[in-house]
Amino acid sequence: MQIPLVVLSANAGDREFLVDMLLEAVNWHPDREITREVLLAEPRLVQYVTDWPRPGELGVIAVVDGQRIGAAWLGSFGADDPGYGYVADDVPELSIALVASWRRRGIGRLLLRDLAERARSAGFRGISLSVERANPAASLYAAEGYRIVRHDGDADVMTLAL
């Protein structure tokens, strides 16, 4: 069965949906229940959606039958306020998530590829991310060409050269 999927450019009006997706991303493990209030009060987490998009930031939204089901977006962070996957000021950091019921259908891979192509066209030299080693998405990132550049506790920082 073919999924009637559309990928749209994300914009400032999608910020609340990006908050929803960031919440999905941090709660990837079924035993984790970080609330929206906690996420919005945690500076290291909320920075992924605060004032998004800043100049040069990109994002995409997956839509099926008019419903937004996932998003992938790039955030730019400096060494003075780095994200979890920070590697350099000129390498944006990826955030990606899908509504749980839409995972493991190839949509995340499609979003990764679409956003990487947009980032390449925009002149970025790479993309970074942070992923907990136990997260099944880690194998997707590796399959899409992301390489581990640093271990950080129970997570790995990965980069994709564009």
Tens digit of pLDDT for each residue in 42-101? Answer: 999 999 999 999 988 999 999 999 999 999 999 999 999 999 999 999 999 999 999 988
What is the model's pTM?
Answer: 0.93
How far is residue 93's CA from residue 161's CA, in Å, rounded to a whole number? Answer: 12
| Average pLDDT, integer, range 98-108 | 90
> No. of H helices and E strands in the chain?
5, 7
pLDDT of 24 > 90? The answer is: yes
Per-chain mean pLDDT for the chain: 94
Alpha carbon 62 to its chain's center: 13
How far is residue 43's CA from residue 48's CA, in Å, rounded to a whole number? Answer: 9
Taking CB atoms within 8 Å and a gap of at least 24, the contacts of 104-109 are 105/3, 107/3, 107/5, 107/62, 107/69, 107/70, 108/70, 108/72, 108/137, 108/140, 109/140, 109/143, 109/144
pLDDT of 7 > 80? The answer is: yes
Domain 5-161 has CATH 3.40.630.30: yes
Q: What's the pLDDT band for 2 if we cut at 50, 70, 90?
A: low
Tens digit of pLDDT for each residue in 148-157? Answer: 999 999 999 9
